[in-house]
Structure 1
Amino acid sequence: MALFSNIRPSGTTDTSGYGAQENTNPALNETVKLFKNNRERDWYENLSDLYAVVNSIQHLEKAYIRDCITPTEYTAACSKLLVQFKSIFKLAKSDEFPTISAFMDRFKFDCPAAMERIREDNPITIRNDKGNTSKCIADIVALFITIMDKLRLQMKAVDEIQPDMRELLDTMNRLNTLPPNYEGRASVQKWLQNMSKMSASDQFDDNEIRQMVFDLESGYEAFRKFLHSS
């Protein structure tokens, strides 16, 4: 967290004692706080998460270039990281960091491969993917993560979940290499059938949300195992 020691959320005043003029020589055993309330703590944690995700994309790009990871595994991992990046940047974005470039410049954070991937918003494997296999893999991973994130954020209405769930099933069906008995497909079909009997404004209860997340997590893990074995 030392990386962010000289910044604070836009619009706030540093009264925590950290960097204050009257406390220029703190005792060695004194606890120095980066934040003075939960809002500032969350902001610093979001910056740390953003740093970690961008750094992970950079290392993943290097691993792929050096042939340390298969194209299939790279595509899945990169797709997940890009979804996570978009989610965390929404939380970290501020007047001080309106763009990811501003964040990178502020901390002299040099990750050119990650920045290129973020700008393109796709794994590099999709560029020359004539059969669309990599595109399907990327979309399936992104949809799994997106739907689970929505459910964890208590988005319970049918019209908030069904479009992504329908797209997930359609994309699974386009991936010709996916085994017919893949368990994730059956789970998605089951939930879509349930939704077809509900109106757009109907909401799932907490038990249904918990079960749906469990089914999706199981389907996602089964998909990852399929990619690892293919």
Structure 2
Amino acid sequence: MEVKLWNDKREREMCDSFADLYAIIKTTEKLEKAYVRDLVSTSDYESECLKLIAQFKTLSSSLRDAVPSIERFVEAYRMDCPAALNRLLVSGVPATVEHRTSSSASAASSAAAVAECVQHFITAMDSLKLNMVAVDQVHPLLADLSASLAKLGTGILPLEFEGKAKVREWITRLSKMGAADELTEQQARQLHFDLESSYNAFMVALPNVRS
């Protein structure tokens, strides 16, 4: 006997969206395991992971009313995907971005990486000043900043550089919000303050490396 899962077009689209969300989470879990087992190249992992994260944020935002909690969605469908939940909800960036180091980088590439960090710091702060406070506007800027900071490795910045932790904390916070959500005035001011203080600490740390 055929079981009908929907009664109209809207219900069918909702079922399709649920299936897409399920597939994204399961695919992310498999990708994380493949990366850990060295079954996929770093470049392929990073590009695919970035795409899955973007798809997840877009879809989870559109399903915000129907799926207010991704954790409950995972429990309801009995999905065992701890790595995917960490990547999609907690980290918000690929593992390569979190753990990338460049201790063997040349002076030229190090200088370029420093310049890239400065650019991303300034871009993020200027965007907040221009009232670009929607999650889908702020999150990519912080992800870019986090990635550029990770490129520097411990050869330039201290291992426990506070700026890295602050940026990761904001990425985690934004990852739990919908793409169309906006930071409150207080949140935007706090983020700008954290970015500015991190930028100042970043600039202070650089002379110690060159000396």
Task: Give the TM-score normalised by the residue count of structure 1.
Answer: 0.43
* Bigger CA radius of gyration: 1
Greater RCO (CA < 8 Å, at least 6 residues apart): 2
